[in-house]
């Protein structure tokens, strides 16, 4: 018999790892009922992969890419054991840049990064519409190299999660303040090099998913003039216990109502911004669970990136 905590743990691990998974229409095994999650992931574990070959720009001299563990799940790349933060530019075709720039922070519980489904895939879609993107590889908590031990580590962290929590989600991660530093450094770097990329210094944003969403909110509440994002996107994320800044940037929030991990943490972000009289837009899709990212899940959540673009245009953040 499976207890409720074990079912929640299985669902949380599924949410995290399936964020790396295949689109719903691909010929891949569908996830089973919650009670069979352990067997499902034992049969479909992450596979070793080569490091990303896309050009990157280190944000710190400390750390090394040699520490990283790159893997794939259903063909999509993930990375963990990041010690040197970096950004991966994804640029529009020549002559197509519209001046808007976006730092993209993938999620993964501060244990890994969904490099493709919550990073590169969004960057490529937005680059086609003229947005200059920078996928952020931020520092993470260390994890065991061996896959089974890594998955146990994920299970331990997710097993502590309260699916009804509204604040301080993933606060036990030692890497969280490092990721905040990396997010701030990424925004500041993009602003400093705006002329090199044809970027408007007043249209530089950050968007994050899950732990990346928490990172985006940390950035949105701890910036300096040089590192202030001009707009923020939070996709199934959470916020720290901090006041809304007096010059808080406009905010876009999206999540699924059936999100069993952070479904209660994203709503207070909207309420805080609205109470402070700051611009905010909230989309709650009926279904999609946690980690839908840029995967096709077959619900209205598949339209979130189009809604994000519409919001940027309506907010005059994008031509």
Kindly state whether residue 118 falls inside one of the protein's structural domains.
yes
Are the beta carbons of 119 and 135 closer than 8 angstroms? Answer: yes
Kindly state whether residue 42 falls inside one of the protein's structural domains.
no
Please, which residues have CB within 8 angstroms of residue 306's CB and are 6 or more apart in sequence? Answer: none
Kindly state whether residue 151 falls inside one of the protein's structural domains.
no
Kindly state whether residue 82 falls inside one of the protein's structural domains.
yes
Kindly state whether residue 206 falls inside one of the protein's structural domains.
yes
Kindly state whether residue 69 falls inside one of the protein's structural domains.
yes
- Among 70, 74, 78, 77, residue whose Cα is nearest residue 22: 74
Cα(231)–Cα(103) distance, rounded to whole angstroms? 10
Q: How many domains does the chain have?
A: 1
Kindly state whether residue 319 falls inside one of the protein's structural domains.
no
DSSP string, the chain: ---HHHHHHHHHHHHHHHTTS--TTSSSPPP--GGGHHHHHHHS--EE-PPP-S--EES-SSS-GGG-EEEEETTEEEEE---S-EEEEEPPSTT---S-EEEEE--STTT-B-TIIIIIHHHHHHHTTT-EEEEEE-------SSHHHHHHHHHHHHHT--TT--SSTTTT-TTHHHHHHHHHHHHHHHHHTHHHHT--TT-EEEEEETHHHHHHHHHHTS--TTT--SEEEEES----S-PPPTTPPPEEEEEETT-TTTTTTSHHHHHHHHHTT--EEEEEESS--TT-TTS--SSGGGGHHHHHHHHHHHTTS--
Per-residue pLDDT of the chain (319 residues; tens, 9 = 90+): 344 344 444 455 555 655 655 544 444 455 554 445 556 666 777 899 999 999 999 999 999 999 999 999 889 999 999 999 999 999 999 999 999 999 999 999 999 999 999 999 999 999 999 999 999 999 999 999 998 898 888 888 877 777 888 887 777 799 999 999 999 999 999 999 999 999 999 999 999 999 999 999 999 999 999 999 999 999 999 999 999 999 999 999 999 999 988 999 999 999 999 999 999 999 999 999 999 999 999 999 999 999 999 999 999 999 9
Kindly state whether residue 3 falls inside one of the protein's structural domains.
no
Q: Provide the sign of the torsion angle of the four alpha carbons 70, 123, 292, 189, taken in this order.
A: positive
Residue 274 structural domain = 48-145+162-314
Domain CATH code at residue 208: 3.40.50.1820
Are the beta carbons of 290 and 276 closer than 8 angstroms? Answer: no
């Amino acid at each position: 018999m499976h207890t409720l905590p074990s079912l929640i743990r299985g669902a949380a691990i599924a949410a995290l790892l399936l964020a790396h998974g295949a689109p719903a229409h691909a010929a891949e095994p569908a996830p089973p009922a919650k009670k069979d999650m352990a067997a499902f992931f034992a049969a479909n574990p992450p596979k070793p992969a080569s490091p990303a070959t896309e050009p990157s720009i280190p944000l710190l001299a400390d750390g090394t890419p040699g520490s990283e563990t790159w893997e794939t799940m259903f063909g999509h790349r993930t990375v963990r054991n990041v010690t040197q933060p970096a950004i991966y530019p994804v640029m529009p075709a020549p002559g197509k840049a519209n001046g808007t720039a976006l730092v993209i922070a993938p999620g993964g519980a501060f244990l890994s990064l969904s490099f493709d489904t919550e990073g590169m895939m969004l960057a490529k879609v937005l680059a086609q519409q003229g947005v200059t993107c920078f996928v952020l590889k931020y520092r993470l908590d260390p994890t065991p190299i061996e896959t089974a031990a890594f998955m146990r580590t994920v299970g331990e962290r997710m097993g502590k999660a309260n699916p009804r929590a509204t604040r301080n989600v993933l606060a036990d991660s030692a890497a969280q303040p490092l990721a905040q530093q990396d997010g701030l450094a990424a925004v500041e770097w993009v602003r400093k090099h705006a002329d090199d990329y044809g970027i408007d210094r007043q249209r530089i944003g950050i968007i994050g998913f899950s732990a990346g969403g928490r990172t985006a909110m940390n950035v949105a509440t701890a910036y300096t003039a040089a590192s202030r994002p001009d707009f923020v996107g939070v996709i199934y994320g959470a916020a720290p216990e901090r006041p809304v800044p007096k010059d808080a940037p406009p905010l876009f929030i999206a999540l699924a109502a059936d999100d069993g991990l952070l479904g209660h943490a994203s709503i207070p972000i909207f309420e805080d911004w609205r109470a402070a009289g700051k611009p905010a837009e909230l989309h709650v899709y009926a279904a999609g669970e946690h980690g839908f990212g840029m995967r096709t899940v077959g619900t209205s959540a598949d339209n979130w990136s189009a809604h994000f673009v519409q919001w940027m245009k309506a907010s005059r953040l994008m031509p």
